[in-house]
Structure 1
Amino acid sequence: MDSSLSFKSGLRDVLPTVFGYVGVGLAMGIVANTSHLSVLAVLLMSLIVYAGSAQFIIISMLLAGSPVSAIVLSTFLINSRMILMSMTVARYFKRDSLLQNIGLGTLLTDETFALSMNKLNVTDQKLRPTWLHAANVVAYLVWAAATVVGCLLGNLIADPDQFGLDFAVVGMFIGLLYLQIITDRSKPLATQAEVVLFVAVCMFFLMRFFPGNIALLIATLLGCGFGMVVSPK
Protein backbone atom coordinates (compact mmCIF):
# COMPACT_ATOMS: atom_id res chain seq x y z
CA MET A 1 0.00 0.00 0.00
CA ASP A 2 1.42 3.39 -1.06
CA SER A 3 0.34 7.03 -0.76
CA SER A 4 -1.42 7.17 -4.14
CA LEU A 5 -5.16 7.90 -4.02
CA SER A 6 -5.94 7.25 -7.67
CA PHE A 7 -8.65 4.92 -8.98
CA LYS A 8 -5.97 2.44 -10.06
CA SER A 9 -4.47 2.50 -6.57
CA GLY A 10 -7.88 1.74 -5.09
CA LEU A 11 -8.20 -1.30 -7.34
CA ARG A 12 -4.75 -2.51 -6.33
CA ASP A 13 -5.23 -1.92 -2.59
CA VAL A 14 -8.55 -3.76 -2.35
CA LEU A 15 -7.46 -6.93 -4.19
CA PRO A 16 -6.01 -8.76 -1.14
CA THR A 17 -9.18 -7.96 0.79
CA VAL A 18 -11.64 -9.40 -1.71
CA PHE A 19 -10.34 -12.93 -1.19
CA GLY A 20 -12.31 -12.89 2.03
CA TYR A 21 -15.39 -11.87 0.05
CA VAL A 22 -14.92 -14.85 -2.25
CA GLY A 23 -14.84 -17.37 0.59
CA VAL A 24 -17.79 -15.97 2.52
CA GLY A 25 -19.75 -15.21 -0.68
CA LEU A 26 -19.39 -18.79 -1.87
CA ALA A 27 -20.58 -20.04 1.52
CA MET A 28 -23.56 -17.69 1.46
CA GLY A 29 -24.53 -18.81 -2.05
CA ILE A 30 -24.27 -22.46 -1.09
CA VAL A 31 -26.43 -21.93 2.01
CA ALA A 32 -28.97 -20.02 -0.10
CA ASN A 33 -29.10 -22.88 -2.62
CA THR A 34 -29.67 -25.48 0.08
CA SER A 35 -32.44 -23.20 1.39
CA HIS A 36 -34.10 -23.35 -2.06
CA LEU A 37 -33.43 -19.76 -3.14
CA SER A 38 -33.01 -19.17 -6.86
CA VAL A 39 -29.90 -17.73 -8.46
CA LEU A 40 -31.85 -14.56 -9.33
CA ALA A 41 -32.99 -14.15 -5.72
CA VAL A 42 -29.41 -14.55 -4.48
CA LEU A 43 -28.12 -12.02 -7.01
CA LEU A 44 -30.78 -9.44 -6.13
CA MET A 45 -30.19 -9.96 -2.41
CA SER A 46 -26.44 -9.40 -2.83
CA LEU A 47 -26.95 -6.29 -4.97
CA ILE A 48 -29.67 -4.72 -2.79
CA VAL A 49 -28.91 -5.86 0.76
CA TYR A 50 -25.13 -6.28 0.31
CA ALA A 51 -24.39 -7.42 3.84
CA GLY A 52 -22.93 -10.85 4.49
CA SER A 53 -24.13 -11.48 8.05
CA ALA A 54 -27.53 -9.91 7.33
CA GLN A 55 -28.01 -12.11 4.27
CA PHE A 56 -27.37 -15.25 6.30
CA ILE A 57 -29.94 -14.04 8.84
CA ILE A 58 -32.47 -13.18 6.13
CA ILE A 59 -32.20 -16.67 4.66
CA SER A 60 -32.74 -18.35 8.03
CA MET A 61 -35.66 -16.05 8.86
CA LEU A 62 -37.30 -16.69 5.49
CA LEU A 63 -37.08 -20.43 6.12
CA ALA A 64 -38.62 -19.93 9.55
CA GLY A 65 -41.50 -17.96 8.05
CA SER A 66 -40.70 -14.74 9.94
CA PRO A 67 -42.73 -11.63 9.06
CA VAL A 68 -41.19 -9.02 6.77
CA SER A 69 -41.20 -6.43 9.56
CA ALA A 70 -39.03 -8.69 11.75
CA ILE A 71 -36.61 -9.34 8.88
CA VAL A 72 -36.28 -5.61 8.13
CA LEU A 73 -35.72 -4.74 11.81
CA SER A 74 -33.14 -7.50 12.25
CA THR A 75 -31.26 -6.37 9.14
CA PHE A 76 -31.21 -2.79 10.40
CA LEU A 77 -29.88 -3.78 13.82
CA ILE A 78 -27.22 -6.06 12.33
CA ASN A 79 -25.95 -3.28 10.06
CA SER A 80 -26.39 -0.36 12.48
CA ARG A 81 -22.63 -0.34 13.07
CA MET A 82 -22.29 1.08 9.55
CA ILE A 83 -23.73 4.36 10.86
CA LEU A 84 -20.64 4.78 13.03
CA MET A 85 -18.27 3.75 10.25
CA SER A 86 -19.87 6.08 7.70
CA MET A 87 -19.70 9.00 10.13
CA THR A 88 -16.01 8.28 10.72
CA VAL A 89 -15.19 8.20 7.01
CA ALA A 90 -17.45 11.15 6.08
CA ARG A 91 -15.20 13.73 7.75
CA TYR A 92 -12.53 13.06 5.12
CA PHE A 93 -14.95 13.98 2.33
CA LYS A 94 -16.38 17.26 3.64
CA ARG A 95 -15.36 19.11 0.50
CA ASP A 96 -17.04 16.62 -1.81
CA SER A 97 -20.66 16.76 -2.96
CA LEU A 98 -23.60 15.17 -1.18
CA LEU A 99 -24.03 12.79 -4.12
CA GLN A 100 -20.42 11.66 -3.81
CA ASN A 101 -20.87 11.03 -0.08
CA ILE A 102 -24.07 9.08 -0.64
CA GLY A 103 -22.32 6.89 -3.20
CA LEU A 104 -19.38 6.26 -0.90
CA GLY A 105 -21.55 5.52 2.12
CA THR A 106 -23.92 3.22 0.25
CA LEU A 107 -21.20 0.73 -0.72
CA LEU A 108 -19.00 1.11 2.38
CA THR A 109 -18.36 -2.18 4.17
CA ASP A 110 -16.43 -3.32 7.23
CA GLU A 111 -13.55 -4.30 4.98
CA THR A 112 -13.34 -1.12 2.89
CA PHE A 113 -13.71 0.92 6.09
CA ALA A 114 -10.75 -0.91 7.64
CA LEU A 115 -8.84 -0.50 4.39
CA SER A 116 -9.53 3.24 4.49
CA MET A 117 -8.25 3.52 8.05
CA ASN A 118 -5.05 1.75 7.00
CA LYS A 119 -4.71 4.00 3.95
CA LEU A 120 -4.82 7.11 6.15
CA ASN A 121 -1.54 6.03 7.73
CA VAL A 122 0.34 6.43 4.43
CA THR A 123 -1.49 9.45 2.93
CA ASP A 124 -1.04 12.05 5.68
CA GLN A 125 -4.63 11.46 6.85
CA LYS A 126 -6.22 12.09 3.44
CA LEU A 127 -8.70 10.17 1.30
CA ARG A 128 -10.19 10.82 -2.14
CA PRO A 129 -13.53 9.67 -3.61
CA THR A 130 -11.87 8.05 -6.64
CA TRP A 131 -9.79 5.75 -4.46
CA LEU A 132 -12.67 4.68 -2.21
CA HIS A 133 -15.09 4.31 -5.13
CA ALA A 134 -12.67 1.87 -6.75
CA ALA A 135 -12.33 -0.19 -3.58
CA ASN A 136 -16.08 -0.18 -2.92
CA VAL A 137 -17.14 -1.09 -6.45
CA VAL A 138 -14.67 -3.98 -6.77
CA ALA A 139 -15.75 -5.37 -3.39
CA TYR A 140 -19.41 -4.99 -4.39
CA LEU A 141 -19.04 -6.81 -7.70
CA VAL A 142 -16.85 -9.59 -6.28
CA TRP A 143 -19.35 -10.23 -3.49
CA ALA A 144 -22.29 -10.46 -5.91
CA ALA A 145 -20.36 -12.74 -8.26
CA ALA A 146 -19.16 -15.00 -5.43
CA THR A 147 -22.67 -15.49 -4.03
CA VAL A 148 -24.03 -16.35 -7.47
CA VAL A 149 -21.23 -18.86 -8.12
CA GLY A 150 -21.81 -20.34 -4.67
CA CYS A 151 -25.49 -20.75 -5.45
CA LEU A 152 -24.66 -22.50 -8.73
CA LEU A 153 -22.24 -24.80 -6.91
CA GLY A 154 -24.70 -25.49 -4.12
CA ASN A 155 -25.81 -28.80 -5.58
CA LEU A 156 -22.22 -30.06 -5.45
CA ILE A 157 -21.32 -28.97 -1.89
CA ALA A 158 -23.68 -30.05 0.87
CA ASP A 159 -21.65 -28.73 3.81
CA PRO A 160 -19.61 -25.53 3.18
CA ASP A 161 -18.19 -25.62 6.72
CA GLN A 162 -16.03 -28.63 5.84
CA PHE A 163 -13.89 -26.31 3.67
CA GLY A 164 -13.53 -23.68 6.38
CA LEU A 165 -15.21 -21.02 4.22
CA ASP A 166 -17.00 -19.65 7.26
CA PHE A 167 -13.62 -18.63 8.75
CA ALA A 168 -12.53 -16.62 5.69
CA VAL A 169 -13.91 -13.30 6.89
CA VAL A 170 -12.47 -13.82 10.40
CA GLY A 171 -9.01 -14.41 8.95
CA MET A 172 -9.37 -11.35 6.75
CA PHE A 173 -10.20 -9.11 9.71
CA ILE A 174 -7.25 -10.46 11.69
CA GLY A 175 -5.02 -9.45 8.78
CA LEU A 176 -6.58 -5.97 8.55
CA LEU A 177 -6.15 -5.45 12.30
CA TYR A 178 -2.49 -6.47 12.06
CA LEU A 179 -1.90 -4.01 9.20
CA GLN A 180 -3.61 -1.23 11.14
CA ILE A 181 -1.42 -1.82 14.20
CA ILE A 182 1.93 -2.02 12.37
CA THR A 183 1.29 0.98 10.09
CA ASP A 184 -0.28 3.44 12.54
CA ARG A 185 2.68 5.30 14.04
CA SER A 186 0.53 7.97 15.70
CA LYS A 187 -0.24 5.79 18.72
CA PRO A 188 2.06 3.58 20.84
CA LEU A 189 1.78 -0.15 20.24
CA ALA A 190 0.94 -0.70 23.92
CA THR A 191 -2.02 1.68 23.68
CA GLN A 192 -3.40 -0.09 20.63
CA ALA A 193 -2.99 -3.46 22.35
CA GLU A 194 -4.86 -2.15 25.39
CA VAL A 195 -7.81 -1.05 23.23
CA VAL A 196 -7.92 -4.38 21.35
CA LEU A 197 -7.84 -6.33 24.62
CA PHE A 198 -10.51 -4.08 26.15
CA VAL A 199 -12.88 -4.61 23.21
CA ALA A 200 -12.26 -8.38 23.28
CA VAL A 201 -13.10 -8.54 27.00
CA CYS A 202 -16.21 -6.41 26.44
CA MET A 203 -17.36 -8.75 23.68
CA PHE A 204 -16.79 -11.78 25.90
CA PHE A 205 -19.12 -10.47 28.59
CA LEU A 206 -21.64 -8.68 26.35
CA MET A 207 -22.22 -11.84 24.30
CA ARG A 208 -23.72 -13.37 27.43
CA PHE A 209 -26.50 -10.79 27.52
CA PHE A 210 -26.98 -9.51 23.94
CA PRO A 211 -27.16 -10.92 20.40
CA GLY A 212 -23.80 -10.91 18.61
CA ASN A 213 -24.32 -7.83 16.45
CA ILE A 214 -25.78 -5.74 19.29
CA ALA A 215 -22.87 -6.79 21.50
CA LEU A 216 -20.46 -5.76 18.72
CA LEU A 217 -22.06 -2.32 18.44
CA ILE A 218 -21.90 -1.73 22.21
CA ALA A 219 -18.32 -3.02 22.42
CA THR A 220 -17.32 -0.69 19.57
CA LEU A 221 -18.77 2.34 21.37
CA LEU A 222 -17.11 1.33 24.63
CA GLY A 223 -13.83 0.76 22.80
CA CYS A 224 -13.99 4.24 21.26
CA GLY A 225 -14.52 5.77 24.68
CA PHE A 226 -11.74 3.70 26.23
CA GLY A 227 -9.40 4.65 23.38
CA MET A 228 -10.02 8.35 24.02
CA VAL A 229 -9.20 7.90 27.69
CA VAL A 230 -5.96 5.95 27.30
CA SER A 231 -4.59 7.70 24.18
CA PRO A 232 -1.64 10.03 24.84
CA LYS A 233 -2.65 13.71 24.79
Structure 2
Amino acid sequence: METVHSTQTKSGRKAWIEGVARALPVVLGYIPVGFAFGVLSQKAGISLWNALLMSFLVYAGSAQLIAAGLIGAGTPALSIVLTTFVVNLRHLLMSAALSPYLKKWRKRELAVFSYQLTDETFALHSVQFAKGMPGKPEVFAVNITSQASWVFGTWLGVTAGQLITDVKPLALDYALPAMFIALLLLQLRDRLQIYVALLTGLLAVGMLLLGFDRWNVIIATVLGATIGTVVELRWNRKRFS
Protein backbone atom coordinates (compact mmCIF):
# COMPACT_ATOMS: atom_id res chain seq x y z
CA MET A 1 0.00 0.00 0.00
CA GLU A 2 2.87 2.40 0.74
CA THR A 3 4.23 1.99 -2.78
CA VAL A 4 0.89 2.84 -4.35
CA HIS A 5 0.37 5.88 -2.13
CA SER A 6 3.84 7.35 -2.63
CA THR A 7 3.63 6.84 -6.38
CA GLN A 8 0.27 8.52 -6.75
CA THR A 9 1.26 11.60 -4.67
CA LYS A 10 4.25 12.56 -6.80
CA SER A 11 4.22 16.06 -8.23
CA GLY A 12 3.01 16.32 -11.81
CA ARG A 13 6.42 17.40 -13.10
CA LYS A 14 8.31 14.63 -11.30
CA ALA A 15 5.77 12.05 -12.49
CA TRP A 16 6.20 13.15 -16.10
CA ILE A 17 9.99 13.06 -15.82
CA GLU A 18 9.88 9.53 -14.40
CA GLY A 19 7.44 8.47 -17.12
CA VAL A 20 9.75 9.81 -19.82
CA ALA A 21 12.70 8.03 -18.21
CA ARG A 22 10.81 4.72 -18.07
CA ALA A 23 9.97 5.06 -21.76
CA LEU A 24 13.62 5.36 -22.85
CA PRO A 25 14.05 1.63 -23.66
CA VAL A 26 11.02 1.89 -25.95
CA VAL A 27 12.33 5.10 -27.51
CA LEU A 28 15.64 3.41 -28.36
CA GLY A 29 13.71 0.73 -30.23
CA TYR A 30 11.02 2.88 -31.81
CA ILE A 31 13.26 5.43 -33.52
CA PRO A 32 15.15 2.89 -35.70
CA VAL A 33 12.05 0.80 -36.43
CA GLY A 34 10.05 3.95 -37.17
CA PHE A 35 12.93 4.96 -39.43
CA ALA A 36 12.62 1.65 -41.29
CA PHE A 37 8.88 2.21 -41.68
CA GLY A 38 9.52 5.70 -43.02
CA VAL A 39 11.95 4.39 -45.62
CA LEU A 40 9.55 1.63 -46.64
CA SER A 41 6.71 4.16 -46.89
CA GLN A 42 8.75 6.40 -49.14
CA LYS A 43 9.60 3.45 -51.39
CA ALA A 44 5.91 2.48 -51.49
CA GLY A 45 4.94 5.93 -52.73
CA ILE A 46 3.37 7.14 -49.48
CA SER A 47 3.82 10.87 -48.96
CA LEU A 48 5.55 12.33 -45.92
CA TRP A 49 2.34 13.69 -44.41
CA ASN A 50 0.40 10.47 -44.99
CA ALA A 51 3.19 8.44 -43.37
CA LEU A 52 3.25 10.79 -40.38
CA LEU A 53 -0.54 10.68 -40.17
CA MET A 54 -0.43 6.88 -40.18
CA SER A 55 2.12 6.86 -37.35
CA PHE A 56 -0.03 9.30 -35.39
CA LEU A 57 -3.45 7.71 -35.94
CA VAL A 58 -2.70 4.02 -36.52
CA TYR A 59 0.39 3.82 -34.29
CA ALA A 60 0.98 0.09 -34.71
CA GLY A 61 4.43 -0.89 -35.91
CA SER A 62 3.81 -4.32 -37.39
CA ALA A 63 0.50 -3.26 -38.94
CA GLN A 64 2.06 -0.15 -40.47
CA LEU A 65 5.00 -2.07 -41.93
CA ILE A 66 2.64 -4.64 -43.43
CA ALA A 67 0.30 -1.93 -44.72
CA ALA A 68 3.16 -0.05 -46.38
CA GLY A 69 4.26 -3.21 -48.17
CA LEU A 70 0.71 -3.99 -49.29
CA ILE A 71 0.16 -0.42 -50.49
CA GLY A 72 3.38 -0.58 -52.47
CA ALA A 73 2.17 -3.83 -54.06
CA GLY A 74 -1.16 -2.25 -55.05
CA THR A 75 -3.27 -4.42 -52.72
CA PRO A 76 -6.99 -3.45 -52.47
CA ALA A 77 -7.90 -1.28 -49.47
CA LEU A 78 -10.28 -3.86 -47.97
CA SER A 79 -7.56 -6.52 -47.93
CA ILE A 80 -5.17 -4.11 -46.21
CA VAL A 81 -7.76 -3.26 -43.54
CA LEU A 82 -8.60 -6.91 -42.85
CA THR A 83 -4.94 -7.95 -42.71
CA THR A 84 -3.95 -5.22 -40.26
CA PHE A 85 -7.07 -5.93 -38.18
CA VAL A 86 -6.03 -9.57 -37.72
CA VAL A 87 -2.46 -8.55 -36.91
CA ASN A 88 -3.71 -6.20 -34.18
CA LEU A 89 -6.11 -8.65 -32.51
CA ARG A 90 -3.53 -9.17 -29.78
CA HIS A 91 -4.54 -5.77 -28.40
CA LEU A 92 -7.67 -7.44 -27.04
CA LEU A 93 -5.48 -9.61 -24.82
CA MET A 94 -3.35 -6.68 -23.67
CA SER A 95 -6.36 -4.53 -22.82
CA ALA A 96 -7.99 -7.38 -20.90
CA ALA A 97 -4.79 -7.97 -18.91
CA LEU A 98 -4.55 -4.34 -17.78
CA SER A 99 -8.27 -3.69 -17.25
CA PRO A 100 -8.29 -4.75 -13.53
CA TYR A 101 -5.88 -1.90 -12.76
CA LEU A 102 -7.92 0.73 -14.61
CA LYS A 103 -11.40 0.23 -13.16
CA LYS A 104 -11.51 3.71 -11.60
CA TRP A 105 -10.43 5.54 -14.75
CA ARG A 106 -12.87 7.67 -16.74
CA LYS A 107 -13.95 6.51 -20.18
CA ARG A 108 -12.15 9.32 -21.99
CA GLU A 109 -8.95 8.51 -20.10
CA LEU A 110 -9.32 4.84 -21.02
CA ALA A 111 -9.92 5.82 -24.65
CA VAL A 112 -6.66 7.79 -24.82
CA PHE A 113 -4.74 5.12 -22.92
CA SER A 114 -5.96 2.28 -25.15
CA TYR A 115 -5.27 4.32 -28.29
CA GLN A 116 -1.61 4.69 -27.27
CA LEU A 117 -1.17 1.15 -25.93
CA THR A 118 1.39 -0.93 -27.82
CA ASP A 119 3.19 -4.21 -27.18
CA GLU A 120 6.15 -2.39 -25.68
CA THR A 121 4.25 0.07 -23.49
CA PHE A 122 2.07 -2.83 -22.37
CA ALA A 123 5.19 -4.61 -21.14
CA LEU A 124 6.32 -1.51 -19.24
CA HIS A 125 2.90 -0.92 -17.70
CA SER A 126 2.49 -4.58 -16.73
CA VAL A 127 5.68 -4.47 -14.67
CA GLN A 128 4.88 -1.12 -13.08
CA PHE A 129 1.21 -1.85 -12.34
CA ALA A 130 2.17 -5.11 -10.62
CA LYS A 131 4.51 -3.20 -8.28
CA GLY A 132 2.02 -0.43 -7.51
CA MET A 133 -0.36 1.67 -9.57
CA PRO A 134 1.46 4.84 -10.71
CA GLY A 135 -0.23 8.20 -11.16
CA LYS A 136 -1.92 9.02 -14.44
CA PRO A 137 0.67 11.68 -15.46
CA GLU A 138 3.44 9.07 -15.29
CA VAL A 139 1.39 6.54 -17.27
CA PHE A 140 0.55 9.03 -20.01
CA ALA A 141 4.14 10.31 -20.07
CA VAL A 142 5.28 6.80 -21.00
CA ASN A 143 2.71 6.56 -23.79
CA ILE A 144 3.21 10.05 -25.21
CA THR A 145 7.00 9.78 -25.18
CA SER A 146 6.87 6.41 -26.91
CA GLN A 147 4.51 7.61 -29.63
CA ALA A 148 6.49 10.81 -30.17
CA SER A 149 9.64 8.75 -30.78
CA TRP A 150 7.75 6.57 -33.28
CA VAL A 151 6.50 9.61 -35.21
CA PHE A 152 9.98 11.15 -35.10
CA GLY A 153 11.54 7.95 -36.42
CA THR A 154 8.97 7.90 -39.22
CA TRP A 155 9.86 11.47 -40.19
CA LEU A 156 13.56 10.62 -40.26
CA GLY A 157 12.92 7.55 -42.41
CA VAL A 158 10.75 9.28 -45.00
CA THR A 159 13.19 12.20 -45.19
CA ALA A 160 16.19 9.91 -45.66
CA GLY A 161 14.31 7.45 -47.88
CA GLN A 162 15.43 9.11 -51.09
CA LEU A 163 19.07 8.57 -50.13
CA ILE A 164 18.80 4.92 -49.03
CA THR A 165 18.29 2.26 -51.66
CA ASP A 166 18.27 -0.76 -49.34
CA VAL A 167 17.49 -0.63 -45.61
CA LYS A 168 18.40 -4.29 -44.90
CA PRO A 169 22.17 -3.75 -44.43
CA LEU A 170 21.38 -1.36 -41.58
CA ALA A 171 19.83 -4.26 -39.60
CA LEU A 172 17.10 -1.94 -38.30
CA ASP A 173 14.66 -4.84 -38.14
CA TYR A 174 16.65 -6.24 -35.19
CA ALA A 175 15.85 -3.22 -32.99
CA LEU A 176 12.32 -4.35 -32.16
CA PRO A 177 13.16 -7.98 -31.18
CA ALA A 178 16.09 -6.71 -29.12
CA MET A 179 13.83 -4.29 -27.28
CA PHE A 180 11.28 -7.05 -26.62
CA ILE A 181 14.01 -9.25 -25.12
CA ALA A 182 15.08 -6.42 -22.80
CA LEU A 183 11.49 -5.76 -21.71
CA LEU A 184 10.87 -9.47 -21.15
CA LEU A 185 13.90 -9.77 -18.87
CA LEU A 186 12.46 -7.03 -16.65
CA GLN A 187 9.38 -9.18 -16.00
CA LEU A 188 11.12 -12.48 -15.16
CA ARG A 189 11.18 -12.60 -11.37
CA ASP A 190 10.95 -16.35 -10.60
CA ARG A 191 11.36 -19.78 -12.18
CA LEU A 192 7.71 -20.13 -13.15
CA GLN A 193 7.81 -16.94 -15.20
CA ILE A 194 11.01 -18.11 -16.92
CA TYR A 195 9.45 -21.48 -17.77
CA VAL A 196 6.26 -19.84 -19.06
CA ALA A 197 8.25 -17.41 -21.20
CA LEU A 198 10.30 -20.24 -22.73
CA LEU A 199 7.20 -22.37 -23.31
CA THR A 200 5.32 -19.49 -24.94
CA GLY A 201 8.27 -18.74 -27.19
CA LEU A 202 8.55 -22.37 -28.28
CA LEU A 203 4.80 -22.54 -28.95
CA ALA A 204 4.92 -19.37 -31.04
CA VAL A 205 7.84 -20.64 -33.13
CA GLY A 206 6.27 -24.08 -33.50
CA MET A 207 2.96 -22.70 -34.73
CA LEU A 208 4.77 -20.35 -37.08
CA LEU A 209 6.53 -23.33 -38.66
CA LEU A 210 3.16 -25.07 -38.95
CA GLY A 211 1.77 -22.18 -40.97
CA PHE A 212 -0.06 -20.15 -38.31
CA ASP A 213 1.86 -17.01 -39.26
CA ARG A 214 -1.00 -14.62 -38.37
CA TRP A 215 -2.23 -16.32 -35.19
CA ASN A 216 0.87 -17.89 -33.66
CA VAL A 217 1.58 -15.07 -31.19
CA ILE A 218 -2.03 -14.77 -30.04
CA ILE A 219 -2.52 -18.54 -29.61
CA ALA A 220 0.85 -19.01 -27.89
CA THR A 221 0.15 -16.10 -25.53
CA VAL A 222 -3.25 -17.48 -24.52
CA LEU A 223 -1.89 -21.00 -24.00
CA GLY A 224 1.19 -19.81 -22.12
CA ALA A 225 -0.79 -17.50 -19.85
CA THR A 226 -3.37 -20.21 -19.17
CA ILE A 227 -0.76 -22.83 -18.31
CA GLY A 228 1.15 -20.38 -16.12
CA THR A 229 -2.00 -19.37 -14.24
CA VAL A 230 -3.09 -22.97 -13.65
CA VAL A 231 0.35 -24.01 -12.40
CA GLU A 232 0.62 -20.97 -10.13
CA LEU A 233 -2.81 -21.63 -8.60
CA ARG A 234 -1.89 -25.26 -7.90
CA TRP A 235 1.42 -24.26 -6.34
CA ASN A 236 -0.33 -21.73 -4.10
CA ARG A 237 -2.92 -24.32 -3.01
CA LYS A 238 -0.21 -26.79 -2.03
CA ARG A 239 1.74 -24.07 -0.24
CA PHE A 240 -1.16 -22.85 1.89
CA SER A 241 -2.97 -26.18 2.36
| TM-score normalised by structure 2 residue count | 0.87
Q: Distance in 1 between matches of 2:214 and 2:16?
A: 32
Q: Where does the alignment leave 5 or more consecutive residues of structure 1 unmatched?
A: none
1:224 Cα offset (Å): 1.0
Out of 22, 27, 30, the residue aligned to residue 21 of structure 1 is 30
SS of the equivalent of 1:228 reads helix
How many residues align? The count is 224
Q: Are 1:152 and 2:159 counterparts? A: yes
SS of match in other structure, 1:205: helix
In structure 1, C-alpha distance between the alignment counterparts of 2:143 and 2:223, rounded to whole Å? 28
Aligned residue runs from structure 1 range 25-174, under 5 A? 25-123=34-132, 126-174=133-181
Distance 2:82 2:185 in 1: 33
Note the C-alpha offset of 1:128. 3.2
Q: Give yes or no for contact 2:33–2:173 (8 Å, CA) kept in 1.
A: yes
Whether the 8 Å CA contact 2:7–2:135 is kept in 1: the answer is no
Distance 1:61 1:209 in 2: 24
SS at match of 2:215: helix
Q: Does 1:205 align with 2:214?
A: no
Distance 1:213 1:35 in 2: 23
Q: Aligned partners of 1:134, 1:221: CA distance in 2, in Å?
A: 29
Tell me, in whole angstroms, the C-alpha distance in 1 between the residues paired with 2:94 and 2:130.
Answer: 17
1:92 and 1:127 in contact (8 A); partners too: no
Identity %: 34
Could you list the runs of 5+ residues in structure 2 that have no partner in the other structure? 9-14, 237-241
Residues 29 and 42 in structure 1, CA contact (< 8 A), matched pair in contact too: yes
| Aligned-partner Cα distance in 2 for 1:210–1:87 | 27
For 1:213 and 1:7, the matched residues in 2 are separated by 36
Supply the RMSD in Å over aligned alpha carbons. Answer: 1.7
- Larger-gyration structure (1/2): 2
Shift of 1:70: 1.1
Give the aligned residue type for 2:219.
I
CA displacement at 1:208 relative to structure 2: 2.5
* Structure 1 residue 211 displacement after superposition: 4.2
- Hey, what's the Cα distance between the residues in 2 that align with 1:8 and 1:18? 14
The structural deviation recorded for 1:148 is 1.2
Name the structure 1 match of 2:215: 214
